[in-house]
Amino acid sequence: PTAPVNVVVTGAAGQIGYALLFRIASGQLLGPDTPVRLRLLEIPQGVKAAEGVALELQDSAFPLLAGVDITDDATKAFDGANVGLLVGARPRTKGMERGDLLEANGGIFAPQGRAINAGAADDIRILVVGNPANTNALIASSAAPDVPAERFTAMTRLDHNRAVGQLAAKLEVPVTEIHKLTIWGNHSATQYPDLYNAEVNGKSAAEQVDEAWLRDEFIPRVAKRGAEIIEVRGGSSVASAANAAIDHVYDWVNGTPEGDWVSAAIPSDGSYGVPEGIISSFPVTSENGAWKIVQGLDINDFSRERIDASAKELVEERDAVKALGLL
Ligand code: NAI
């Protein structure tokens, strides 16, 4: 029997945590042959609710669930951790400036990065979900100098899946016919969902839709889908966000299908003119447990402008957290 993999979920008592934990425990994060031990990290006020979730995990009698630990101490949570899903974050409240938001989140992600650096297992893989996800991942990574930077990633898979869903609905094809779609840049309104390199039924996606739809409907709809969900559902995206986190880690660990790619925010190596070091979304494949940026794609002028604009926003966020002494 394989030893259980230690999976840390921060913000475990929150909404996404509730949608995520049962799927992890059922084997959907790592696969049906891998037992997991869950580590739930919460702030002190969240610990009791996390204990309640743990009772329900027990009541689910998951064969793959080797145990559940609950703590408000990041050092304990990340000791020996193999996978970290960093979901808990400080949301933007009314009247909060971007600088305040970044600073408040620095107060969460820097200590968690230090705890990861101090005690995580050698194969630690981090996915940051809590917003601003890309820059929170950069803060955590920079607080963990002994962990390879490529182990810190941020989630744009929800944006990717939203884009696939929109295109499938538009062309009335199953989602399985859609390949090679890319989200570039920041998990924010500047993100760029790219259909110029995407394929539907093996043919260019951009050529199967009219340009006005692509530019004036599709792109803003994907980028603002979070707001649409809040308006229609009366609450933010939760189950779809948890689903995307599962997809991201599953593909990272188990590999992406031959001949296709997905989107994930990973540290830039300068590819496609995205400044080195920022954690930006790219077209990526995973092989042997490591993400690789897909090379050699054609970038037209329209795409160039949008990729640059989102990268510029990420550079500004990086410079702002640097000025706060968080990098
Ligand atoms: P929530 O408010 O229901 O849950 C957040 C939980 O985090 C709370 O239980 C809170 O006690 C906990 N928490 C706060 N600070 C913590 C800390 N320092 N350590 C451990 N736990 C802490 O929020 P929800 O709906 O679960 O969303 C979580 C985050 O995910 C938000 O930042 C949200 O903006 C983000 N998000 C990101 C998406 C993406 O595509 N990247 C999509 C949807 C949400």
135 Cβ contact list (under 8 Å, min separation 6) = 102, 105, 279, 314, 317, 318, 321
**Whole domain around residue 27: which residue ranges?**
5-154
- Could you tell me if 281 and 243 lie in one domain? yes
Residue 193 is predicted with a pLDDT of: 98
Residue 326 in any domain: the answer is no
- Could you tell me if 177 and 139 lie in one domain? no
* Residue 287 dihedral angles phi and psi, to the nearest 5°: -140, 135
Q: Would you say 239 is a known binding-site residue?
A: no
Please tell me the distance between residue 11's alpha carbon and the centre of ligand 1 in angstroms: 6
Q: What are the start-end ranges of the H helices in 11-148?
A: 15-25, 47-58, 74-78, 98-119, 133-142
What is the tens place of the pLDDT at every residue in 179-219? 999 999 999 999 999 999 999 999 999 999 999 999 999 99
pLDDT exceeds cutoff 90 at 95: no
- Residue to mutate, 236, 247, 249, 262, ligand 1, most ligand atoms under 8 Å from C-beta: 236
- Could you tell me if 296 and 165 lie in one domain? yes
Residue 97 is predicted with a pLDDT of: 87
Q: 119, 154, 189: which is the final residue of a domain?
A: 154
Residue 236 CA from chain centroid, whole number: 16
Q: 154, 187, 212: which is the final residue of a domain?
A: 154
**How far is the C-alpha of 178 from the C-alpha of 278, rounded, in Å?**
28
Residue 323 in any domain: the answer is no
What is the tens place of the pLDDT at every residue in 26-67? 999 999 999 999 999 999 999 999 999 999 999 999 999 999
- Identify whether the C-beta of residue 110 lies closer than 8 Å to the C-beta of residue 74: no
Please tell me the distance between residue 102's alpha carbon and the centre of ligand 1 in angstroms: 14
**How far is the C-alpha of 168 from the C-alpha of 177, rounded, in Å?**
8
Mean pLDDT of 279-294: 98
Reference 172, options 197, 201, 196; nearest CA is 201
**How far is the C-alpha of 147 from the C-alpha of 48, rounded, in Å?**
32
Q: 136, 154, 172: which is the final residue of a domain?
A: 154
Report the number of distinct structural domains present in the chain.
2
Which residues, in sequence order, are bridge partners of residue 46? Answer: none
Report percent pLDDT > 90 for the chain. 96
- Could you tell me if 46 and 125 lie in one domain? yes
- Identify whether the C-beta of residue 177 lies closer than 8 Å to the C-beta of residue 162: no
Specify the ligand 1 atom closest to the Cα of 237: 43
pLDDT band at 1 (very low <50, low <70, confident <90, very high): low
Residue 93 is predicted with a pLDDT of: 87
> Where residue 231 sits, what CATH number does that domain have?
3.90.110.10
Whether the pTM exceeds 0.95: the reply is: yes
pLDDT band at 322 (very low <50, low <70, confident <90, very high): very high
What is the tens place of the pLDDT at every residue in 222-254? 999 999 999 999 999 999 999 999 999 999 999
Give me the chain's average pLDDT, please: 97
Residue 324 in any domain: the answer is no
Q: Would you say 98 is a known binding-site residue?
A: yes
- Could you tell me if 184 and 145 lie in one domain? no
- Could you tell me if 98 and 115 lie in one domain? yes
Helix (H) or strand (E) holding 85: strand 83-86
- Could you tell me if 133 and 162 lie in one domain? no
ipTM above 0.85 for this complex: yes
Pocket of ligand 1 (CB under 6 A): 10-11, 13-17, 41-43, 46, 87-89, 91, 108, 129-131, 133, 155, 158, 187, 236-238, 241
Would you give the end-to-end CA distance of the chain in angstroms?
Answer: 41
Paired tokens of 1: 């029997």
- Could you tell me if 106 and 191 lie in one domain? no
Catalytic residues: 187
